[in-house]
């Protein structure tokens, strides 16, 4: 048998992310019918794997112990009552025993702390925080605000003043009435939805950043003794309804900046000047995103902070990822999630140990984990079933399996006498269009089928016979020098839903009138379905002429 080369291109349409983005399939956690408001991450049992704590509204809160591969084992545990009205959950070692404890902020219920017993289990008797007001807690943050090396607790309340509980260093560290009240006084109050602690003015004292609903947002500078300056720095707009903030270095200087996640306006980046003052730098996302949470992290390992946005209000929406440019601006963003959800909580952490930050999404309904997989041959293999294989040879050709998005490599598996190349009589029937279908492009069928494909998916191409072939989509392109790859045919595979428009393009030799390259795709549920735009060019060569292509015969030639 001759040796053949084959070039494979993956094309995901939408908005172009960087070369590294959320690429893997989503995983689920929870019952699928939870009303989750918050999710927190940390290693609760010190086994080296990240665990999840899920805060539910009107249901019991849950712990899911991580297995280290992005999945969570059956050792789930419950904390709190079956009627918890939880709005916020954070983790921290509040009693200085080196084990992470769970702090729960409740709506119209007292806030509670679940102390870790030292083995990943928690006290059956929860530690109830001293009650002040009506307990409309929406936000929590831990940090040492008075310089005694003990974590103090900041509580952001709706329709009430915000509070700071100073840690007294005993087993129940917050059992006194809070010593500090901050924020807008009654009867107006701040309607606080989020709080953060950071060093905003360059001294050694933690400051508080507050996100308010129907009020301005504020920076309160810490005095280092647990009190805060009466003079605050105001930012944002009252009518934007800020529900979340994220703090980090976005423009490359030494001063902390703030991302504002708004429910009734576009999201914004404010850059700091080292005094506590913030200046608007960049506006992103749409007017209708209804953002509930923003989280900042370097998700693509380019050293610049990125922003992950959880959206959803009255109706489901896509969650989004915006890559930082390092100058206080962000790129155009792309959808992180395959589905539109009503998202309230979002946490970023390392769930599968590959050094890439992953995402846990907390929704009303089904909760998800999105693994952030680096793009390479190992990643590609994970998208296929165990029975996936590649075929190269004179007699191989692309074959349609109706409604299954599978490509067989022999006539007997799917082809018909009327359509020996595997092409159906009618290109893209309704059933095929909705459920997935192979469209072979090349030879005598190239023009009509390519035209159909462009009509449905916005893909176009520029073909100069014997010279070049350029694939165009979403303003991006991959150029192939045909003089380097003579006599190729193309088959295009439509995988996943129409709105997400996921496509695989296979380029192979076919000068004898057959399709020389075939791919058998297994479970399509393993394919990513986010509506971003990524092109991955792979070349494989059947070096041992066995008609199959092994993983060590595949190289990644280009990514966009």
The model's pLDDT over 230-263, given as tens digits with 9 standing for 90+, comes to 778 999 998 999 999 999 999 999 999 999 999 9
Q: Give yes or no for residue 444 having a pLDDT over 60.
A: no
CB 106 within 8 A of CB 137: yes
Q: Give yes or no for residue 531 having a pLDDT over 50.
A: no
| Boundaries of every domain in the chain | 5-15+378-559, 236-339
3-state class (DSSP) for residue 382: helix
- Give the per-residue pLDDT at 469: 64
Q: Give yes or no for residue 428 having a pLDDT over 60.
A: no
Which tokens belong to 361?
């999404």
CB 487 within 8 A of CB 510: yes
481: Cβ contacts below 8 Å, ≥ 6 apart: 468
Better-predicted residue by pLDDT, 508 or 100: 100
Q: Per mean pLDDT, which range of 40-54, 232-246, 279-293, 458-472 is the poorest?
A: 458-472
169: Cβ contacts below 8 Å, ≥ 6 apart: 96, 148, 150
Q: Per mean pLDDT, which range of 19-33, 403-417, 458-472 is the poorest?
A: 403-417
pLDDT classification of 421: cutoffs 50, 70, 90:
very low
Rounded-to-5 percentages of helix, strand, coil across the chain = 5, 45, 50
Q: Per mean pLDDT, which range of 115-119, 232-236, 387-391, 464-468 is the poorest?
A: 387-391
Q: Which helix (H) or strand (E) holds 357?
A: none
391: Cβ contacts below 8 Å, ≥ 6 apart: 409, 517, 518, 519, 520, 547, 548, 549
CA 5 to each of CA 75, 83, 239, 441, 538: distance values in angstroms, whole numbers, following the listed order: 48, 62, 59, 18, 11
User: In sequence order, what DSSP letters do the residues of 122-156 get, joined into one string?
Assistant: B-SS-EEPPP-TT-BEEEEEEE-SSSSSS-EEEEE
Strand order in the sheet with 228-235: 192-198, 207-212, 217-222, 228-235
Q: Give yes or no for residue 396 having a pLDDT over 60.
A: no
Mean predicted confidence (pLDDT) in 326-336? 87
pLDDT in tens, 91-133: 999 999 999 999 999 998 889 999 998 887 887 667 777 766 6
Query: CA 347, 175, 97 angle in degrees (round to 5)?
Result: 60
Distance of alpha carbon 495 from alpha carbon 407, whole angstroms: 11
Answer left, alpha or beta for residue 400, where phi above 0 means left and psi between -120 and 50 means alpha. Answer: beta
Q: Give yes or no for residue 386 having a pLDDT over 60.
A: no
**Mean pLDDT, the chain, whole residue set:** 72
CB 102 within 8 A of CB 385: no
Distance of alpha carbon 270 from alpha carbon 259, whole angstroms: 6
Distance of alpha carbon 354 from alpha carbon 334, whole angstroms: 22
- Give the per-residue pLDDT at 290: 92
Highest mean pLDDT among 179-183, 367-371, 510-514: 367-371
pTM for the whole structure: 0.70
- Give the per-residue pLDDT at 81: 83
pLDDT in tens, 151-186: 999 999 988 889 999 998 887 788 766 667 887 776
Q: Per mean pLDDT, which range of 3-12, 393-402, 427-436, 475-484 is the poorest?
A: 393-402
Which tokens belong to 58?
């009107």
Q: Give yes or no for residue 458 having a pLDDT over 80.
A: no
Mean predicted confidence (pLDDT) in 491-510? 40
């Amino acid at each position: 048998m001759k040796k053949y080369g084959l070039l494979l291109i993956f094309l995901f349409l939408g908005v172009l992310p960087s070369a590294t983005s959320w690429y893997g399939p989503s995983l689920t956690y929870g019952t699928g019918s939870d009303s989750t408001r918050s999710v927190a991450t940390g290693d609760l049992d010190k086994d080296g794997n990240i665990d999840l704590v899920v805060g539910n509204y009107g249901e019991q809160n849950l712990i899911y112990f991580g297995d280290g591969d992005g999945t969570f084992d059956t050792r789930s545990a419950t904390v709190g009552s079956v009627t918890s009205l939880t709005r916020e959950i954070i983790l921290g070692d509040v009693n200085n025993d080196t084990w992470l404890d769970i702090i729960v902020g409740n709506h119209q219920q007292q806030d509670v702390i679940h102390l870790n017993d030292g083995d990943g289990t928690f006290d059956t008797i929860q530690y109830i925080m001293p009650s002040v007001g009506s307990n409309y807690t929406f936000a929590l943050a831990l940090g040492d605000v008075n310089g005694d090396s003990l974590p103090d607790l900041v509580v952001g309340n709706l329709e009430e003043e915000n509070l700071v509980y100073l840690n007294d260093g005993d087993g129940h560290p917050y059992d006194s009435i809070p010593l500090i009240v901050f924020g807008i006084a009654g009867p107006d109050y701040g309607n606080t939805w989020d709080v953060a602690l950071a060093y905003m003015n360059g001294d050694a004292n933690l400051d508080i950043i507050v996100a308010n609903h129907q009020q301005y947002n504020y920076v309160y500078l810490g005095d280092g003794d647990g009190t805060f300056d009466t003079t605050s720095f105001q930012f944002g707009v009252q009518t934007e309804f800020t529900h979340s903030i994220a703090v980090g270095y976005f423009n490359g200087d030494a001063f902390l900046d703030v991302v504002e996640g708004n429910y009734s306006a576009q999201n914004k980046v404010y850059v700091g000047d080292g005094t506590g003052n913030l200046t608007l730098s960049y506006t992103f996302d749409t007017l209708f995103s209804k953002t509930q949470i923003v989280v900042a992290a370097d998700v693509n390992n380019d050293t610049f902070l990125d922003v992950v946005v959880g959206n959803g209000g009255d109706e489901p929406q896509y969650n989004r990822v915006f890559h930082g440019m390092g100058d206080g601006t962000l790129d155009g963003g792309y959808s992180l999630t395959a589905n539109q959800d009503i998202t309230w909580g979002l946490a970023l952490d390392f769930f599968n140990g590959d050094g890439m930050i992953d995402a846990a999404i907390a929704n009303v309904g089904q909760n998800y984990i999105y693994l952030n997989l680096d793009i390479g041959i190992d990643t590609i293999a994970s998208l296929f079933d165990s029975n996936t294989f590649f075929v190269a040879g004179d007699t191989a050709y692309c074959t349609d399996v109706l409604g299954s998005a599978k490509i067989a490599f022999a006539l007997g598996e799917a082809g018909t006498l009327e359509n020996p190349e595997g092409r159906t009589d009618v290109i893209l029937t309704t059933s095929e269009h909705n459920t997935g279908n192979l469209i072979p492009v090349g030879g005598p069928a190239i023009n009509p089928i390519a035209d159909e494909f462009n009509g449905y998916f916005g893909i176009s191409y520029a073909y100069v016979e014997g010279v070049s072939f350029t694939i165009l989509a979403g303003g991006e392109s991959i150029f192939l020098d045909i003089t380097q790859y003579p006599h190729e045919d193309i088959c295009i595979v439509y995988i996943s839903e129409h709105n997400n428009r996921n496509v695989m393009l296979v380029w192979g030799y076919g000068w004898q009138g057959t399709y020389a390259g075939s791919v058998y795709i297994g479970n399509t549920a393993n394919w990513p379905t986010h509506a971003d735009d990524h092109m991955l060019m792979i070349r494989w060569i059947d070096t041992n002429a066995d008609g199959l292509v092994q993983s060590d015969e595949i190289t990644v030639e280009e990514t966009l």
